[in-house]
Chain A
Amino acid sequence: MSNNIARKKIDSATIISAVIVLCIYVAAFVAEQFIAPTSMLFTVLKKGATYALVAVSMNLLNGFTGIFSLGQAGFMLIGAYVYGIFTVPVAERINVYQYYNGGLVQFVLPWFVAMALSGLVAAFFAFLIGMPVLRLKSDYLAIASLGFAEIIRAVMQWDKLGPITNGSNMLRLFPSFNDFNIRAADGHVVVYLSTLVPLLIAGVCIGVIILLINSTFGRALKAIRDDEIAAEAMGIRLASHKRLAFCISSFFAGVGGAMLAMYQTTVQAKGFTTAMTYEILLIVVIGGIGSVTGSCISSFLFVAASEWWLRFLDQKQMIGSFEVPLLRNGFRLVVLRRRGPNERERTSP
Chain B
Amino acid sequence: MSENVLHLDHLTMRFGGVVAVNDLSMDINKGEIVALIGPNGAGKTTAFNMVTGVYTPTEGKVVLNGQDVTGKRPDEITKLGVARTFQNIRLFSSMTVFDNVLTAKHLRRTSNFLTATFRLNAAEEKHMREETEKLLREVDLYDLKDEMATSLPYGKQRLLEIARALATQPKLLLLDEPAAGMNPQETEELGAFIKQIKDRFDLTVFLIEHHMNLVMGISDRIYVIDFGKHIAEGTPAEVQDNPAVIAAYLGVDEDESGLPSEGPRASAPAAPPEARGPLKVETRGGKGVQ
Contact = CB atoms under 8 A, between A and B. Distances in A.
Interface of A: 3, 6, 208, 211-212, 215-217, 219-220, 222-223, 225-227, 229-238, 244, 248, 290
Contacts of B54: 229, 233
B92 A235 contact: no
B117 A233 contact: no
B91 A236 contact: no
B78 interface: yes
23 contacts: A211-B118, A212-B116, A216-B111, A217-B117, A219-B95, A219-B106, A222-B94, A222-B95, A223-B103, A225-B94, A226-B92, A227-B91, A229-B86, A229-B90, A230-B91, A233-B75, A233-B83, A234-B78, A235-B78, A235-B107, A236-B107, A237-B73, A244-B113
B94 A215 contact: no
Nearest to A238: B75
A246 B133 CA distance: 32
Given A229-B90, A232-B75, A237-B73, A215 B52 contact: no
Contact of A211 (B90, B107, B117): B117
Interface of B: 52, 54, 73-76, 78-79, 83-84, 86, 90-95, 99, 102-107, 109, 111, 113, 116-119, 121, 125, 128, 133, 146, 164-165, 167-168
Interface centre among A226, A230, A232, A290 (most CB of B within 10 A): A230
Contacts of A227: 90-93
A245 to B, nearest CB: 10
Contacts of B105: 216
B121 to A, nearest CB: 7
B110 to A, nearest CB: 11
Given A227-B93, A234-B106, A219 B74 contact: no
Interface centre among A6, A232, A234 (most CB of B within 10 A): A234
Contacts of B83: 233-234
A230 B94 CA distance: 13
B146 A6 contact: yes
B258 to A, nearest CB: 43
Contacts of B113: 212, 215, 217, 244, 248
Contact of A216 (B75, B92, B116, B133): B116
A216 B117 CA distance: 8
Nearest to A239: B73
Contacts of A238: 75
Contacts of B92: 222-223, 226-227, 230-231
Contacts of B167: 234
B99 to A, nearest CB: 6
Contact of A236 (B75, B86, B119, B125): B75
Contacts of B128: 216
A96 B23 CA distance: 72
A219 B75 CA distance: 16
Interface centre among A3, A217, A290 (most CB of B within 10 A): A217
Contacts of B125: 215-216
Given A212-B113, A229-B90, A232-B75, 16 more contacts: A212-B117, A215-B119, A217-B106, A219-B106, A220-B103, A220-B106, A222-B94, A222-B103, A226-B91, A230-B86, A233-B84, A234-B107, A234-B168, A235-B75, A235-B106, A236-B107
Nearest to A248: B113
Contacts of A290: 94
Contacts of B103: 219-220, 222-223, 231, 234, 236
Interface centre among A212, A217, A227, A233 (most CB of B within 10 A): A233
Contacts of B111: 216
Contacts of B99: 219
B190 to A, nearest CB: 20
A273 to B, nearest CB: 32
A238 B257 CA distance: 50
A220 B92 CA distance: 10
Contacts of A248: 113
Contacts of B119: 211, 215
Nearest to A220: B106
A232 B74 contact: yes
Interface centre among A208, A219, A235 (most CB of B within 10 A): A235
A235 B90 contact: no
B116 A217 contact: yes
A235 B166 CA distance: 12
A212 B94 CA distance: 17
Contacts of B79: 235
A220 B105 CA distance: 10
B169 to A, nearest CB: 10
